[in-house]
Structures are given as structure tokens and as C-alpha cells.
Amino acid sequence: MRYIFSLSICCFLVFSSPAMAMNDFWAETLISSTSTSTTYLTSRDKKLIAATRDDASSFVASDGNIKGVYLEAAMDEFRQSHPDIAISDIALAQFILAYEQDYP
């Protein structure tokens, strides 16, 4: 994370100089790299969601005997961020399977 931040600061300083501001090559390179990294992050998020849903379906189908690491992490995160909600593991897994959301 620190590397990405440092790299973005360096790019900002280089691309904001008047000599580089008019150069289309550098502007297109910056825009291209930004869209590539955004696409990578989005596809990685979708893969995590798919893995969590797969774990949830295995958990529900096995009546709670198979609990994958992605489902376990999602349940832990849910319980830490919502300690006031009491829900069983199987009900939470069913909710994960039933919940549909479009991710960009």
C-alpha cells in the first residue's frame, strides 16, 4: 500500500509539470494504468464474493459440516461489525446465498 501511494505521488509530480502536461503519451499512459488497476481490483472483489458464495452453498448443503475459509472470514467480519444481531451460522450462510447485488 505504501508503494502504491509513493508511486501515485511521484506520478502526480511528474505529470503535473508544465512540460509533461501537454504530452498526450503520458496522459494516456496514466489513464490506461488507472483503468487497468481499477479493473483488477473489481475482478478480484468479484472472485472473493464468488468464493464466499461457494463456501456458503457447501455449508448449507452439508448442514453446517463444511465451513470454508471465505465463509468463515465473512461471518467473522459480519459479527464484528454487527454485534447486536444474533443470527445462526446456517441462517447467515442462507442470507449470503439469497442476497443478490450487482457489483461494478
Written as nine digits, the cell of 29 is 499512459
Domain that holds residue 73: 2-98
Overall number of domains in the chain: 1
In a structure prediction context, what are the per-residue pLDDT tens digits for the chain, which is 104 residues long?
555 544 455 555 555 555 545 455 545 555 555 545 444 456 667 788 888 999 999 999 999 999 999 999 999 999 999 999 898 999 999 988 888 665 54
Does any domain span residue 73? yes
Q: Quote the pLDDT of residue 100.
A: 65
- In this structure, is residue 28 part of a structural domain? yes
In b/e form, how buried is each residue of 78-97, taking b as 16+ CB within 10 angstroms?
eeeeeeeeeeebeebbbebe
Q: Look at the pTM and tell me if it is higher than 0.95.
A: no
In a domain, 103, yes or no: no
